[in-house]
Structure 1
Amino acid sequence: MTFGLTFEKLLLIGLIAVLIIGPERLPKAAESFARMVRKVGEYVRDTKSRVRDEMGPDLDDVDWRKLDPRQYDPRRIIRDALMEEPQPAAAMKAKSTIMEPVAPRAPQQFSAENRPPYDPEST
């Protein structure tokens, strides 16, 4: 990640830092900046190793580029769905993993002899 920084921009930032910080304090500022960069690197490496330890070896098998939301263009998804050939109903039934709805039963008629089920623990 370059954050849009070119060599010229980095040179300009360095020149401004020299002017603001001054030549006497610049070595100490560079040293503290280098220390901060090292700590950030250690933090990132530690975080990666902790994630790998907690997620297990399956984490290495994940193709992270497939999960990038920037690759999904809603126009392309809709166009592909509309251009897709309609499937026959028999093929869709065979593909369907959703359970078929159960036909409703006729309501039971209860009377004095045919009482509804009663569970004394439920009340």
Structure 2
Amino acid sequence: MFESVGWGEIVVLVVAGLFILGPERLPSAAAWVGRSVRQVKEFANGARDQLRGELGPEFDELRKPLEELRGLRDLHPRNAVRRTLFDDPEPKPNGFAPGPNLTKSNGTPQAHPAAPQPPAPLARNERPPIDPDAT
């Protein structure tokens, strides 16, 4: 439930509670919060058990889309960028990784694009060519 709350945030909350409530009322407020969280969990578990009892096997079918929605938590932009930049592409069903489309518009295979040739090495004291558009 509180998987995204770290120790730093907990310390800040305790210190803020200490200043707001004072040392006399802080323990009773913490006990009240604990009881409230426990009661909410019990209500949620009771509702889930009641639904499972009433729906029977259909409950599991309703739960599958919810489990798929939980997988959408992966769609954080940082995770998407990391997956795009650093993970290998998944192979296609034909066994090849996704790449450029090598078929012409009429469906015939197109020749593989030629790799650019590296420039010839420069001779001693030769100045490299200058591209005025790149500067």
TM-score range, shorter chain: 0.3 to 0.5
User: TM-score under structure 2 normalisation?
Assistant: 0.44
CA radius of gyration, larger in: 1
Say which structure, 1 or 2, has more relative contact order (CA 8 Å, 6+ apart).
Answer: 1
Q: Which structure dedicates a bigger proportion of its chain to helix?
A: 1
